[in-house]
A and B are shown apart, each in its own frame.
Chain A
Amino acid sequence: MKEIKGIAASPGIAIGPIFVYRPAELVIHNLQAEDASLEWERYQNAAQKALLELVALRQKVASEVGEADAAIFDAHQMILRDPDLEEELRAEIDTGATAESATEVVFARQVKSFEEIDDPLFRERAADFSDVGRRVLCILTGVQDNALAALDAPAIVIAKDLMPSDTAQMNKAMVRGFCTAGGGPLSHTAILARNLGLPAVVGAGKDVLDLKNGEWLVVDGGAGVVVIGADEQQCNQYQQEADRLAQERATAQAHAHEPAITQDGRQIEVVANVGLPGEEVDALQAGAEGIGLLRTEFLFVERRVAPSEEEQYQAYYPIFDAMGERIVIARTLDIGGDKPVPFLAVPHEDNPYLGWRAIRIGLADPELLKTQLRALLRAGHDHNLKIMFPMIATVEEMQAARALVDEACAELAERGAPYAQTVEVGTMIEVPSAALMADQLVRHVDFFSIGSNDLTQYTLAADRGNPAVALLSDALHPAVLRLVDSVVRAAHAAGVWVGVCGEMAGDPDAIPLLLGLGVDEFSTGVAAIPATKALIRKLSLVEAQALAREALTQPGAPAVHALVKRWMGEH
């Protein structure tokens, strides 16, 4: 038996035969063509299609993984639109090459020339040219790189690292777990595994790529270990643990549609974070009692012209329709700064996270924000719409934003359009100043929703997407918990409810703490909903309150984690 230590990326245990993913080979049959202009058109069509794929991938990765990972697709789009590269392709096609042959030759030339650069940083870019060239070639040759799509038996997928383009087409129903040679806890594979609820170990080193298809492997995602050649007794032990975990998950899923009521009778609302049209359906299946965070960025990113009220209405309406009477909390546009929105022409900034973004843009361009508000108010007519604003830092901003809601309502009333007339208006609490001023802010809101990801980043001044400081950016740090505590106290004193809509709301270590601090609503990623509900059902509010008080007095995040683990063991 051999144990390989990697990085714990997604908890759970998987045992089974492995499938080592190696990307398909592309063979080009037609090298010569007669009609150069036809071939050029074929290339351009394929490039256009590839561009659309990249735009979609960028959006998907930005919402699922984060901006840092999505940025690679900006570079890929730049490569596809590169005028020098187009010139080389056109020249190659003019010599009589087919579109696919020209693509292969020209992109291979780039790869080769980059591989020859001495500087390792620039040499690595060869991989990007190879990836983009491959994307265009797959379209031109009609090859679907579908080894992962064709998985027809349960397997543990092993790969060097999985790219978003790989996992998008994977037959996820057959995948039991992941083990990648590279990648970190925030890699695409890691996030995907957590979203799918599958065990994963990443960064296990290249030796795992030498394993043979069909060989058995144990992936212990909680411990960050993979085991090769385990004997029967060890396999049995792992299997028992895996069964126990699977049983827990199945129980959670079976009760997903039941309310989350604590042992001592307190009902907690569990709702979903939704970022793309269609996700509301998954959310309902997972047992979401509503949408606690409807991200609306999908309508705005990559746009050269701002979406019209009508276009936005058409995009929002089906979501409200699917949710029926359940609550839908729409967050107004949270764009700018680091997110590319061409129509806004955001000036270059030294520090986009502290710059012109979110509500700051909306207040500076009231027509842009009101257009969105009108679309939401119309789509929310006869539904349970609530509106919240991102990145509110001051009371004045909240007052100004709220006034725009009133203006939007007045405009719709004047037009005689049906709209949601009694809409609750709230704010995200993401900026420490807003958390500290919650007792003042609360006079201007109907609810608070704590955006724990940004609140943590801003409180600890550490970007969780930056591996060098990611560990510092821990939502369980007492500094963050104290802010949550004071927000909840201020809100409850004024009779206002508080939700949490960051990753914290679905984190098993954080759930007892948030419950104990008095959070009324948990909004999590769709996949985490059944387990979040199941965990809440096991807890007692009174005991969680005692735990939370103790957590607030700890010196740091490690002590809080240790405290929660010990407490969970005892309860």
Chain B
Amino acid sequence: MSEIELIVRNKVGLHARPAVLFVQTAQGFQSDIRVLKDGKEGNAKSFKAILALAVNKNDKVVVRAEGPDAEQALIALTKLVENNFGEP
């Protein structure tokens, strides 16, 4: 199992287009991926679970992956978050 801590810095947080991109990216991997925020946990491949975490700008989340491509999944998701989902 691998995990990484990320700070979401884009304008709207994990919402709308960024949430779609985050979940789509997670769905591209076989590993089981979880997102944890303030003691709540959600399936990174579930749009509703990610929205329900209500991740806002400057919120800290932990992404945890377990499976054959866990490392790659974390790298991809980190890149997405660190690039602010392409928001200017």
A interface residues, Cβ below 8 angstroms from B: 71, 74-75, 78-79, 81-85, 110, 113-114, 117-119, 121-122, 125, 129, 348-352
Contacts and interface: CB of A to CB of B under 8 A. Distances in A.
B47 interface: yes
B43 A348 contact: no
Question: Interface extent on B, as a size class?
Answer: 20 to 34
A82 B16 contact: no
A352 B46 contact: no
Interface string B71-88: 000000001100111111
B52 A349 contact: no
A85 B46 contact: yes
Nearest to B76: A348
Interface string B41-58: 011011111011010100
B84 A71 contact: no
Contact of B54 (A75, A110, A117, A348): A117
A153 B76 CA distance: 56
| Majority SS at the chain B contact face | helix
A350 B84 contact: yes
B86 A352 contact: yes
Contact of B16 (A71, A81, A85): A71
A84 B80 contact: no
Contacts of B70: none
B56 A84 contact: no
B52 A113 contact: yes
B62 interface: no
Contact of B43 (A84, A349, A350): A84
Contacts of B49: 82, 84
Contact of B48 (A84, A348, A350): A84
Given A349-B86, A350-B88, A83 B52 contact: no
A62 B84 CA distance: 24
A81 B81 CA distance: 23
B45 A83 contact: yes
Given A82-B46, A84-B43, A352-B86, A122 B80 contact: no
7 contacts: A71-B17, A79-B47, A82-B48, A84-B43, A121-B15, A348-B79, A350-B86
B36 interface: no
Contacts of A122: 15, 51-52, 54
Shortest Cβ-Cβ A-B pairs, 9 listed: A84-B46, A78-B47, A122-B54, A119-B54, A350-B86, A82-B47, A82-B46, A74-B20, A84-B49
Contacts of B80: 348
B86 A75 contact: no
B32 to A, nearest CB: 11
B66 to A, nearest CB: 16
A61 to B, nearest CB: 15
